[in-house]
Amino acid sequence: MPLKMGVATVTMNRPPVNSLNTEHLETLHRTFIRLENEKCRGMILTSSSPTVFSAGLDIREMYKPELEKARKFWRTLQDMWLKLYSSPYPTVAAINGHAPAGGCLLSLSCEYRVIVPKVRMGLNETQLGIVAPQWFQDCMRNAIGEREAEKALIAGRMFSSEEALKVGLVDEIAQNKEECIQKAEAFLASQANLPMLARKTVKLGFRHQTLSRLLTGREADTKIFIDYIFQPKVQKGLEMYLQSLSKKAA
Ligand SMILES: CCCCCCCC/C=C\CC(=O)SCCNC(=O)CCNC(=O)[C@H](O)C(C)(C)COP(=O)(O)OP(=O)(O)OC[C@H]1O[C@@H](n2cnc3c(N)ncnc32)[C@H](O)[C@@H]1OP(=O)(O)O
């Protein structure tokens, strides 16, 4: 995590697809805490993979899990997201590859999004027979508005880079990762002269309702997750999805 002029670039590096397991989520959470403590001036979130930003939650954490491990996984995801979404410093996602589901959530939790061409992003949970939690849905609604979010979430739609730009899911398209980072840096530079306290207060004002909804209902949210994924038909769906993903590789 190099800090250049107070700006950090956080590069996710969990091959092959940066899927988010408990350990990876803990690493991200610790990183965001550290950046806050170090009074970082801005953060760019990106990936070391040439084709994938993040494949979202590691499905293996939800497939036939032990109860306590599943609870810990979900709480860690909540912790990571609460820190990122409420970060006092400006944040940009440099989306240099596909960003389905949890990968899309990471992007939506940043303030500004730049994407490379020919990749797909979206909250595709419905297509997998699972449901994007309310706070995932809120993040999409906050980015693209009620009507577009409802359509996208019901369909589990994955947007192409161009479609994402058109609907407002991303702010810019860059030709490649290098340009993505340059555009991310330009956004952070545009924020650098704003008084930090005022900036942060306005940001948190906009995000307050979405954050409080999870903060006041964390246990209930965890229970909904646990009750949902432990259903036999959901487990069957996850099993089939995992098989289809490995078949692709074969
Ligand atoms: C009422 C409320 C209820 C709450 C319920 C639960 C809510 C859950 C919320 C969020 C859910 C998620 O985030 S689920 C994850 C969704 N992600 C996806 O659907 C993406 C799946 N992956 C892909 O589409 C592709 O892998 C890719 C486009 C991201 C990359 O393609 P590529 O061709 O480069 O790579 P491969 O497909 O060959 O994959 C390589 C390797 O990685 C494994 N893999 C991929 N994605 C995941 C994943 N998300 N979790 C675990 N493992 C994954 C894939 O199986 C391959 O493994 P093998 O090499 O071992 O076969």
Residue with the nearest Cα to atom 23 of ligand 1?
Answer: 55
> Residue 115 corresponds to which tokens in the numbers above?
């994407």
Q: Name the DSSP class of 157.
A: P
pLDDT at 239 over 60: yes
Q: Name the DSSP class of 129.
A: T
Q: Amino acid identity of 45?
A: L
Question: Band of the pLDDT at 227, cuts 50, 70, 90?
Answer: very high
Task: Write down the pLDDT at residue 145.
Answer: 98
Q: Which atom of ligand 1 is nearest to the CA of 250?
A: 61
CA distance linking residue 42 with residue 88, whole number of Å:
9
- Could you read off the pLDDT of 61-118 as tens digits, one per residue? 999 999 999 999 999 999 999 999 999 999 999 999 999 999 999 999 999 999 999 9
The catalytic position among 82, 122, 124, 238 is 124
Question: Band of the pLDDT at 248, cuts 50, 70, 90?
Answer: low
Task: Write down the pLDDT at residue 179.
Answer: 98
- For residues 97, 62, 212, 142, the Cα torsion angle rounded to the nearest 10 degrees is 30
Q: Where is 10: in which H helix or E strand?
A: strand 7-12
Task: Write down the pLDDT at residue 195.
Answer: 96
Task: Write down the pLDDT at residue 246.
Answer: 87
Task: Write down the pLDDT at residue 4.
Answer: 66
Domains of the chain, by residue range, sit at: 3-191
Output the CA torsion sign for 237, 57, 149, 223: positive
Task: Write down the pLDDT at residue 249.
Answer: 53
Query: Which of the listed residues 245, 247, 248 should we mutate to test ligand 1's pocket, taking the one with most ligand atoms within 8 A of CB?
Result: 245
CATH for the stretch 3-191 = 3.90.226.10
Question: Band of the pLDDT at 229, cuts 50, 70, 90?
Answer: very high
Question: Band of the pLDDT at 134, cuts 50, 70, 90?
Answer: very high
For residues 12 and 18, the answer to whether their CB atoms sit within 8 Å is: yes
CA distance linking residue 71 with residue 68, whole number of Å:
5
Task: Write down the pLDDT at residue 59.
Answer: 96
CA distance linking residue 208 with residue 186, whole number of Å:
27
Q: Any catalytic annotation for residue 125?
A: yes
**Percent helix, strand and coil across the chain, each to the nearest 5:** 55, 15, 30
Q: Any catalytic annotation for residue 97?
A: no
CA distance linking residue 139 with residue 104, whole number of Å:
10
Residue with the nearest Cα to atom 14 of ligand 1?
Answer: 57
Closest CA to 171 of 110, 105, 213, 89: 110
ipTM attached to this prediction: 0.98
Distance 49 CA to ligand 1 centre (A): 14
**pTM tops 0.90, yes or no:** yes
